[in-house]
A and B are shown apart, each in its own frame.
Chain A
Amino acid sequence: EADIYQTPRYLVIGTGKKITLECSQTMGHDKMYWYQQDPGMELHLIHYSYGVNSTEKGDLSSESTVSRIRTEHFPLTLESARPSHTSQYLCASSGYEQYFGPGTRLTVT
């Protein structure tokens, strides 16, 4: 079944650690996105990709980076996690609609 996957679902990590949030989709979509959602707030676009080897920054400034080496894979990396990075991170891909993964809830202590 075509779907979009995110791992881990929950992550609690200490300040200064490097983390990578994984996102994979099996729908064959070229376009993929990362959104950040703080509790009770709107989702904001932080990164997007038109396809392999294409990445762009979104509206919301983020210290994270992304890569797109394979069509189905769009990981997000934080080189040095800080408490201000505590949030929910949602990955999406688009064909006719935008489809979202289940999200990763990140807590940095």
Chain B
Amino acid sequence: KQEVTQIPAALSVPEGENLVLNCSFTDSAIYNLQWFRQDPGKGLTSLLLIQSSQREQTSGRLNASLDKSSGRSTLYIAASQPGDSATYLCAVWVGLGAGSYQLTFGKGTKLSVIP
């Protein structure tokens, strides 16, 4: 059974710092890996999706990498801002059949960026 672990569980940094969030998964047979942001009491906002054949994806100040063989992904946030404060979730896509995929989530990293 696929398990996803995110380290650290919580992180507090001063504004302007660069930071790295870590995600590891136990079964390398994944289809995609997707990073999300969740604000308190809200749904999930997709940040980046990395296909299993890709090594990284970039969007603005965000860069996500994927190493399938070692079961690891990292999310790099450059020049952090207070608006980046949220919980960041890593999810791996696992096939359900007939073109459907289940996302298996980690518990998330709660990020606080201090002004």
Question: A residues touching B (Cβ–Cβ < 8 Å)?
Answer: 6, 31, 33, 35, 40-45, 48, 50, 56, 58-59, 90, 92, 94, 96-103, 105
- The listed residue (A45, A96, A102) touching B103 by CB distance below 8 A is A45
Among B36, B44, B45, B89, the most chain A Cβ lie within 10 Å of the Cβ of B44
Given the known inter-chain contacts A43-B103, A97-B34, A98-B34, please indicate yes or no for A50 contacting B98, CB distance below 8 A. yes
In the complex where A48-B100, A96-B49 touch, is A103 in contact with B105 (Cβ < 8 A)?
no
Residue from the list A6, A42, A90, A105 in contact with B44, Cβ < 8 A: A90
Interface residues of B in 94-110 (CB under 8 A from A): 96, 98-103, 105-108
Q: Any chain A CB within 8 A of the CB of B61?
A: no
Contact of A97 with B44 at beta-carbon distance under 8 Å, contacts A42-B107, A50-B100 already known: no
Q: A48-B96, A92-B103, A97-B46 known; 10 other A-B pairs, CB under 8 Å?
A: A6-B43, A33-B102, A33-B103, A40-B107, A43-B44, A43-B89, A50-B98, A94-B101, A96-B49, A100-B43
Q: How many residues of B contact A (CB 8 A)?
A: 24
Report chain A residues within 8 Å CB of B93. 98
Which residues of B sit under 8 angstroms from A90, Cβ to Cβ? 43-44
Q: Is the interface of A mostly helix, strand, loop or mixed?
A: strand
Distance A100 CA – B105 CA, assembled complex (angstroms): 13
* Residue B41 at the chain A interface, CB threshold 8 Å: yes
CA distance A42 to B43 in the complex (A): 13
Interface string of B74-115 (1 = CB under 8 A from A): 000000000000000101010010111111011110000000
Distance, CA A101 to CA B89, complexed state (A):
15
Find the A residue at minimum CB distance from B9: A40
CA distance A41 to B101 in the complex (A): 21
Per-position 1/0 for B16-44, Cβ under 8 A of A: 00000000000000000010100001111
Ordered by A's residue number, 7 sampled pairs between the chains whose C-beta atoms are within 8 Å are: A35-B103, A40-B107, A42-B107, A43-B91, A90-B44, A98-B93, A99-B46
Contact B41 A105 (CB under 8 A): yes
Tell me the complex Cα distance, A34–B46, Å.
16
